[in-house]
Structures are given as C-alpha cells and as structure tokens.
C-alpha cells in the first residue's frame, strides 16, 4: 500500500507583472487494498492556499508539474500533517477490512 497524492490547481489571476498565478491547490490522497476481490479504499482531501508569488521563483500555471504541486502541498501541510493524513487513510482501509463500527438500519413501521 502506498498513498497516492493528486492535485488540481485553481485561482489563476494576474498579480503585478505576473500572470497565470495559482492561488489554491485542491489535493486528494488515496490508497486501496484488494483482498479476495474486494477493494478497501481510504482517502482524504482538502485544499491549501498559496502565498503571493515571488517574481524571483515564480512558476506559471502551465509550467507547474504534478510533482511540483504535490511538493508544495506537502510543504504547506508539513511532515507531521502529511504523516497524520497517510495514517488516517490506512485506518480507513483497516476499518473497511475489519469493521468495528456499524449502524443498524431499523425500518420505520
């Protein structure tokens, strides 16, 4: 099992002389495990706001790679939060495989 991170960039605008500035990154982290043809999934998702761009290291929207955007998300979240997210995803999968919580459905009369 390995958590996969994906991103979607949003909020392009012009800031000073810079155009195609990304202001927000939506992220999703997912993982799954298949046992006896049953797939157990776990995911977390949210977004991060980016700081105002610095012209000395600015990258326009069309030049931002997935790897770069994921690195930015992880840097903004910090390693403790990234580890927590990935642990929670593993816990979702474990709960799916061996449920400890359930809700009884009682039909109304």
Residue 12 has pLDDT above 70, yes or no: yes
- Answer with the residue of higher pLDDT: 78 or 52: 78
CB 66 within 8 A of CB 6: yes
Span 5-12, average pLDDT: 90
Measured CA to CA, the distance from residue 39 to residue 42 in angstroms comes to 10
Could you tell me the end-to-end alpha-carbon distance of the chain, in angstroms, rounded to an integer? 45
pLDDT in tens, 38-68: 999 999 999 999 998 888 889 989 899 999 9
- Side-chain-side CA neighbours of 5 within 13 Å: the count stands at 21
pLDDT score, position 108 = 66
The band of 105, judged by pLDDT with boundaries at 50, 70 and 90, is low
The band of 32, judged by pLDDT with boundaries at 50, 70 and 90, is very high
CB 41 within 8 A of CB 92: yes
Name the percent of the chain lying above pLDDT 90.
69
The first and second tokens of residue 43, run together, are 């995911």
pTM: 0.84
CB within 8 Å of 75: residues ≥ 6 apart: none
């Amino acid at each position: 099992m390995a958590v996969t991170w994906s991103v979607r960039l949003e909020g392009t605008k012009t800031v000073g002389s810079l155009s195609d500035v990304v202001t927000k990154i939506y992220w999703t982290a997912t993982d799954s495990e298949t046992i006896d043809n049953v797939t157990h999934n776990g995911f977390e998702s949210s977004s991060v706001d980016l700081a105002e761009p610095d012209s000395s290291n600015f990258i326009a929207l069309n030049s931002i790679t997935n790897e770069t955007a994921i690195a930015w998300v992880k840097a903004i979240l910090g390693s403790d939060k990234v580890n927590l997210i990935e642990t929670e995803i593993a816990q979702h999968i474990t709960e799916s495989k061996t449920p400890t919580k359930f809700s009884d459905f009682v039909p109304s009369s």
